Copies of this chain bind each other. A is one copy, B any other.
């Protein structure tokens, strides 16, 4: 009676592996549910057991990517010897570094998310990623409150608000996507960097810190992202 079948979790993981391969290499728009099924060696029924749509696959993939990124930052998030501001700045710096490294391979995904009309999908993806990151950021902020260094009424609301700022860069990032590899790349990078600098000040102030305390962005970051977006995909 016991057929040799893979556990559901493993199946689901393999589906996400396929999604990652296809969305990144071929692009999200150019990948169909049938492509995913074929690549993962699944039946249609098997697919719909796990996911109701391609969007839902992407949502789960983003959640997995965000969790993997946070796992890589475990030492920063949990290291016992860091005060909250140092922890936050190290966390942000490492997260930026990871973004710059990951952008070229994720181009096929970014192309979709920042296309006109896809802001909807972007927000869904953003929410999935925020759900992973928000409690970890809240923990750092709570530490800062405990240390009497951060002056903010609520760590969780502060984390949510700070992560929501990300969505406010949508327009600048979309512009940067289009400018990547063109003459407009410089001005698009400048604009994105300005927005990020402004948001850095907002983060300082939300946490009750002096302007410039939080290293939210560094010179050249926006440009590095745009250059990464411009790299030809394999």
Interface residues of A (CB under 8 A from B): 119-121, 123-124, 127, 153-154, 157-158, 160-161, 164-165, 167-168, 194-195, 198-199, 201-202, 205-206, 208
Contact = CB atoms under 8 A, between A and B. Distances in A.
A133 to B, nearest CB: 14
Q: Interface SS of chain A: helix, strand, loop or mixed?
A: helix
B157 A198 contact: yes
Contacts of A167: 164, 167
A136 B109 CA distance: 35
Contacts of A202: 161, 202, 205-206
Instruction: Choose among A127, A165, A199, A201 the residue with the greatest number of B CB atoms under 10 Å from its CB.
Output: A201
Count this chain's copies in the assembly.
2
A62 to B, nearest CB: 15
A121 B120 contact: yes
Nearest to A211: B153
6 closest A-B pairs by beta carbon, nearest first, are: A120-B120, A205-B205, A164-B168, A157-B198, A123-B123, A202-B206
Contacts of A194: 154, 157
A161 B120 contact: no
A164 B126 CA distance: 14
A43 to B, nearest CB: 26
Given A153-B201, A198-B154, A123 B127 contact: no
Nearest to A207: B205
Nearest to A160: B168
A144 to B, nearest CB: 15
Contacts of A201: 153
Contacts of A124: 119-120
A127 B174 CA distance: 15
Contacts of A127: 119
Contact of A198 (B121, B161, B165): B161
